[in-house]
Structure 1
Amino acid sequence: MAETLESAQSTSLYDQDFYLWILNTVEHLKNRDFDHLDLENLIDEVESLGRSEKREILNRAEILLQHLLKRCYLPQPENYRSWELTIREQRRQMQRNLKDSPSLNRLLLESLPELLQEARETVQFEYPDQRIPEQLPIDLTLQTVLSESFWSDLPSSTPSSL
């Protein structure tokens, strides 16, 4: 396998066989063979990992907010269970991601207002006959969004569960 790893140039290997390029790169890193690393592609891949983590947490947050809005403001009890399951799953996955990458907390907190606006617009478009308020009746913080007590923090006019 070492012969196969060394037989192709690492730059072209990246384009020809990505998995083999990864194995080759890991081998060089483990051996501290920094002279033979394909640094340009390695840097691109590490940056891409960061973008993927960021994208995932923001997508999960928007889905969570959409379902929280649906559950709070749409009088459709037949859908509550499904929305609640989605809420629980998004929270669980977000908490796992935030535990692995705590620096995403700040990004998520800074993005909440924009994500809430996007979630509101999506839900309003999906349900044009319903009115989704511009502002939530509680302060939107990362803690409130990820909290199981989210429902108890809402005014009594909204459904409570979870």
Structure 2
Amino acid sequence: MRSNLYETDFYAWTLEQSKLLKEGDFKHLDIPNLVEEIESLGKQERRELESRLGILIGHLLKWDYQPDKRSKSWRATIREQRRAAQKLINQNPSLKPYLSEAIADAYESGLDLVVKETPLDYSDLPENCPYTSEQLFDPDFPTDLNPV
């Protein structure tokens, strides 16, 4: 029945599992599905970091490769995504060792964003991410991002 509830009404299943945990009724917990959901939560944090980095990298590329089109919107997006990615890492320090892999994966998304939103094509952009992790999180990078 509990596994069936997981398939038919996920929200009700979560309420039931929470109640069982609070009551200490461990023998009635749906352990296989709980394990799956907990693992999924961890993966969700990784995906969120990659997503934030992809948007950040895409906007940094647009900033660098289209200086005549720079806007307040791009500046704000860079600041917002940088802050959100840093917050994720601060709240989940175990993501830090994964950062170089996340940047490499996010770079592909950043490239796609640039190609979709600009006249630039993949061949106009670097094959690998031109930004270090330090640069990605440096609020003063690029130096012309913050108006004087």
Question: What's the TM-score bracket when you normalise by the shorter of the two chains?
Answer: 0.7 to 0.9
Aligned to 1:67: 59
Q: Distance in 1 between the 2:102 and 2:45 partners?
A: 14
Aligned to 2:141: 150
Structure showing greater Rg: 1
Q: Distance in 2 between the 1:62 and 1:84 partners?
A: 15
Are the structure 2 counterparts of residues 123 and 139 from structure 1 closer, same or farther at C-alpha, using a change threshold of 3 Å?
closer
Q: Distance in 1 between the 2:120 and 2:52 partners?
A: 26
What TM-score does the superposition give when structure 2 sets the normalisation length? 0.83
Tell me: higher relative CO, structure 1 or 2? Use CA pairs within 8 A at least 6 residues apart: 2
Unaligned runs of 5+ in 1: 1-8, 153-159
AA partner of residue 92 (structure 2): S
Q: Offset at 1:57?
A: 0.6
Q: Offset at 1:121?
A: 5.3
What TM-score does the superposition give when structure 1 sets the normalisation length? 0.76
Aligned to 1:45: 37
* Length, aligned pairs only: 145
Are the structure 2 counterparts of residues 14 and 123 from structure 1 closer, same or farther at C-alpha, using a change threshold of 3 Å?
same
Aligned to 1:155: none
Aligned to 1:115: 106
* Structural mapping, 1:70-89, within 5 Å: 70-77=62-69, 79-89=70-80
Aligned to 2:96: 105
- Displacement over 6 Å in runs of 4+: none
Report the aligned-residue RMSD: 2.5
**Are positions 1:91 and 2:67 aligned together?**
no
Aligned to 2:27: 35
